[in-house]
Chains A and B, each alone.
Chain A
Amino acid sequence: MPAETAPPMAAPLLDVRDLCVSFPSRGRMIPIVEHVSFTLGERDILGLVGESGSGKSVTAMALMGLIDSPGVQITGSALFRGQELVGLPQKQLRRLRGREIAMIFQDPMTAFTPVYTIGWQIDEQIRAHERLSRKQARARTVELLAEMGVPDPARTADRYPHQLSGGLRQRAMIAMALSCNPSLLIADEPTTALDVTVQAQILELIRSLRSTYGSSVLLITHDMGVVAETCDTTLVLYSGRVAETGPTDALFAHPGHPYTAALLASIPPLDGPRPHRLPAIAGAPPPPLERPAGCAFAPRCAYVHDTCLPAPPPPLVPTGYHPLTAQPDEASAHTSAAGTSPPPVQFAACVLPAEGTPLPARLTHSELSTKPNFDTPDQALPPPTSFSSGEAHQ
């Protein structure tokens, strides 16, 4: 499918290529985000996951033109409906932000000023984009708050941000972001402060945004459960670089990168025996200036070996998993008809797939319920070639 002949409708809503973000510090440029590429189609929900500090928020803020630190360097390209966002003047960005792209911030306090009631602030946001009277705007605000599951929305609208619990504040902020029915929603940890029932409601809402308004969503989260049930595609960041990307079901069933596998293994199980200790990943990611020449995950990887260490960092390569191997029946039908295999869909920045020693598949949900011991590291991963030592020490 050559891109130039495809009709404009088929172009992705957002096409990010080689995005790099560096901040100056003590006379040097610190590369925070390095060569991140992804596409987000119409009605797609893309999950962005990765350790704290891996650059998820910086990526989102760069796309929105919201990084205003002096001396910041943003290179690469981000096409939104064919329009280049990188380097776009603030005035045009602001117009896009209110109407077509909305963002939910990680910290709800930053979205509200403490001196006005939350209702007043949402009214204003609505009135900035729609010609509505104050009264009409308030009616819409109350409606939105109710949709977010805010109890007693009319009265809650009259309260100040500090008078709400963390979860209520979060919901008020989401109401504000959704007030303009954006075609692209960037949601940075939208459910982190919420209990599971409210979380389920908010995720339902995000999905309905897609079905009702055809919106696409870039969802930043560290909750793998949220990713599993919400996102079509998943992008795993590690230390500012893409570690793995692919369809969510493929990535969860066959993680191709040891970091993805370890991330999935460190989730405490809700059923089955309680593991004595959770299989945490020892250590911490390297600071940007101390990233190893080769694979950035090498100091913590249970599979590290000689070929991982020299520069450059391993490029993204197909993990060897693609729809063919996933559905053998369909696949044989496919190959006999077309004679070619479909293109790979899942990529990992690791040397293992190319060396012919890919990671084993993870157990599926039904297997898990009968094999509750999956959470011990030796069952989630094959015997490691070496251990990184000392938890939490760098």
Chain B
Amino acid sequence: MTSSVPPAPTATSTHASASASASASASASASASARPLLEVRDVRKTYHLPRGQTLKAVDGISLSVMPGEVLGLVGESGCGKSTLGRCLLRLMDVSSGEILFEGQDITHLKERALRPLRQRMQMVFQDSYASLNPRRRIGDLLAEPLKVHPGPDGRKRARATIINRLHELMDLVSLPVGALDRYAHEFSGGQRQRINIARALALSPRLVVADEPVSALDVSVQAQIVNLFADLQARLGLTYVFVAHDLAVVRQISTRVAVMYLGAVVELGETDAVLHRPAHPYSAALTAAVPRPMVGAVRAAPLGGDIPSPVARPAGCRFHTRCPFVQDRCRTEEPVLRKIGPSHSVACHFPLAEG
């Protein structure tokens, strides 16, 4: 880490780092380390339901993700994690706000302009089966993005280059090269998830958004895949946004954690600070509710109170209907995400921890 001021992000420098070779891009990412790879500014996404109702699935989220970091995204089911993940990669249009990737505003880019960027941001989904076409060989599935997108020199990739890359990918995810000739149904859940990861990596992305990539896997396979994500990150300098509801998995992989509740980020900070010294009462409830794999370990009683409807979100603090520490002020005044430490923020009037 250098203390020198990074060069101003000009259009030329962005272009240069994008088309740079492996060694040059390593130095580019070092010099860009002070600049976020992904920046999200007050992003909102509203779904329109029947009878004119609207559902604010993402309700004003701002955050940034630095190159090489892993941001864990946790929160109650239905709080908007998947929606946010899709918005980040422009797989879905946002209702308002801005999304910057490598410093470039991509919020309103048309599909054609997005296309070259799509190579550098990829998604891995939970359901490893549904996302693989059962009628095509794994090799064909993996080759597709390599055929669709031009190579780093701007030209169509040669057949030999593609085959080389496929072998490299199999090696990266520890699958035998023979897997390329087989079909999705011939693989176990863990192996299919390796294939999905290989597909996401085909075009050497910088950012991977993984939406519950290990939730459907049993613990031993989950451990293999979590290790794989960690290895790839170390080897390729990848940046992840990692959505999971298993806090132990999130802890294992993440540098920082963002806790979401009803469409908003309520706490953001270094992984162990958020998980072990949570400042937001909802984060505290979440970590206390984790079942431990020990007999005799007690977990806290589940949260009581009314679970608010995402269609009619409570006024004031969005967590006040269930918060054990609620006070009058919480019912009227909405807390904003504010810093309580150098890298720890919380949206609560009465945080449980400072810094």
A positions within 8 Å CB-CB of B: 49-53, 149-152, 155-156, 158-159, 163-168, 170, 192-201, 203-204, 222-229, 248-249, 252-253, 262-264, 266-271, 274-275, 277-281, 284-285, 364-365, 368, 390-394
Would B307 and A149 count as touching, CB distance under 8 A?
A: yes
> A166-B77, A194-B77, A194-B245 given as contacts; is B291 within 8 A of A226 (CB)?
yes
Checking A163, A196, A248 against B247 with a beta-carbon cut-off of 8 angstroms, the contacting residue is A196
User: Chain A CB within 10 Å — which of B74, B219, B223 has the most?
Assistant: B219
Checking B216, B252, B309 against A151 with a beta-carbon cut-off of 8 angstroms, the contacting residue is B309
Chain B residue nearest to A149 in the complex (CB) = B307
Would A249 and B289 count as touching, CB distance under 8 A?
A: no
B positions within 8 Å CB-CB of A: 49-50, 53, 74-78, 82, 173-176, 188-191, 194, 215-224, 226-228, 230, 245, 247-249, 251-252, 275-276, 285-287, 289-297, 299, 301-303, 306-312
Q: How far is the CB of B271 from chain A (nearest CB, A)?
A: 9
Within 8 Å CB of B230, what residues of A? Answer: 277
Would B307 and A270 count as touching, CB distance under 8 A?
A: no
A-B CB contact pairs (8 Å), 6 listed = A51-B220, A165-B77, A192-B216, A194-B77, A253-B295, A281-B223
Would A274 and B295 count as touching, CB distance under 8 A?
A: no
Interface of A is mostly: loop
Would A200 and B245 count as touching, CB distance under 8 A?
A: no
Would B77 and A168 count as touching, CB distance under 8 A?
A: yes
Q: How far is the CB of A224 from chain B (nearest CB, A)?
A: 4
Would B252 and A53 count as touching, CB distance under 8 A?
A: no
Bound Cα distance A231, B291 (Å):
13
Bound Cα distance A285, B77 (Å):
32
Within 8 Å CB of A269, what residues of B? Answer: 248
9 shortest A-B CB distances, which residue pairs?
A167-B77, A225-B291, A152-B309, A222-B218, A280-B223, A365-B294, A278-B223, A165-B78, A200-B302
Chain A residue nearest to B271 in the complex (CB) = A274
Q: How far is the CB of A342 from chain B (nearest CB, A)?
A: 19
Bound Cα distance A274, B247 (Å):
13
Within 8 Å CB of B173, what residues of A? Answer: 392
Within 8 Å CB of A266, what residues of B? Answer: 219-220, 222-223
Within 8 Å CB of B174, what residues of A? Answer: 390-393
Within 8 Å CB of A50, what residues of B? Answer: 218
Would A195 and B75 count as touching, CB distance under 8 A?
A: yes
Would A196 and B289 count as touching, CB distance under 8 A?
A: yes
Bound Cα distance A264, B294 (Å):
9
Would A223 and B312 count as touching, CB distance under 8 A?
A: no
Would A196 and B293 count as touching, CB distance under 8 A?
A: no
Q: How far is the CB of B314 from chain A (nearest CB, A)?
A: 11
- Other than the given A275-B252, A278-B227, 12 more pairs (CB < 8 A) read A52-B218, A167-B76, A196-B290, A204-B302, A222-B218, A229-B297, A280-B224, A280-B227, A284-B221, A285-B188, A392-B175, A393-B174
Would A274 and B251 count as touching, CB distance under 8 A?
A: yes
Checking B188, B290, B303, B307 against A225 with a beta-carbon cut-off of 8 angstroms, the contacting residue is B290
Would A267 and B290 count as touching, CB distance under 8 A?
A: no
Within 8 Å CB of A49, what residues of B? Answer: 218
Bound Cα distance A149, B293 (Å):
25
Would B252 and A229 count as touching, CB distance under 8 A?
A: no
Within 8 Å CB of B78, what residues of A? Answer: 151, 164-165, 167-168
Interface of B is mostly: loop
Would A228 and B295 count as touching, CB distance under 8 A?
A: yes
> A252-B293, A365-B292, A391-B224 given as contacts; is B252 within 8 A of A271 (CB)?
no
> A263-B220, A270-B247, A280-B220 given as contacts; is B294 within 8 A of A228 (CB)?
yes
Would A197 and B248 count as touching, CB distance under 8 A?
A: no
Within 8 Å CB of A199, what residues of B? Answer: 289, 291
Q: How far is the CB of B248 from chain A (nearest CB, A)?
A: 4
User: Chain A CB within 10 Å — which of B50, B53, B275 has the most?
Assistant: B50
Would A392 and B190 count as touching, CB distance under 8 A?
A: yes
Would B307 and A248 count as touching, CB distance under 8 A?
A: no
> A224-B293, A368-B294, A393-B176 given as contacts; is B307 within 8 A of A263 (CB)?
no
Bound Cα distance A198, B76 (Å):
7
> A52-B221, A198-B77 given as contacts; is B252 within 8 A of A252 (CB)?
no
Chain B residue nearest to A204 in the complex (CB) = B302
Would A155 and B309 count as touching, CB distance under 8 A?
A: yes
Q: How far is the CB of A55 from chain B (nearest CB, A)?
A: 13
Would A278 and B190 count as touching, CB distance under 8 A?
A: no
Would A229 and B299 count as touching, CB distance under 8 A?
A: yes
Would B247 and A155 count as touching, CB distance under 8 A?
A: no
Within 8 Å CB of B297, what residues of A? Answer: 228-229, 365
Within 8 Å CB of B50, what residues of A? Answer: 158
Within 8 Å CB of A165, what residues of B? Answer: 77-78, 82
Bound Cα distance A270, B312 (Å):
34
Chain A residue nearest to B231 in the complex (CB) = A277
Bound Cα distance A156, B55 (Å):
12
Bound Cα distance A79, B13 (Å):
72
Chain B residue nearest to A195 in the complex (CB) = B245
Would B76 and A195 count as touching, CB distance under 8 A?
A: yes
Checking A52, A193, A200, A267 against B188 with a beta-carbon cut-off of 8 angstroms, the contacting residue is A52
Checking B223, B289, B293 against A228 with a beta-carbon cut-off of 8 angstroms, the contacting residue is B293
Would A152 and B77 count as touching, CB distance under 8 A?
A: no
> A269-B248, A270-B275 given as contacts; is B296 within 8 A of A278 (CB)?
no
Within 8 Å CB of B295, what residues of A? Answer: 228-229, 248-249, 252-253, 365
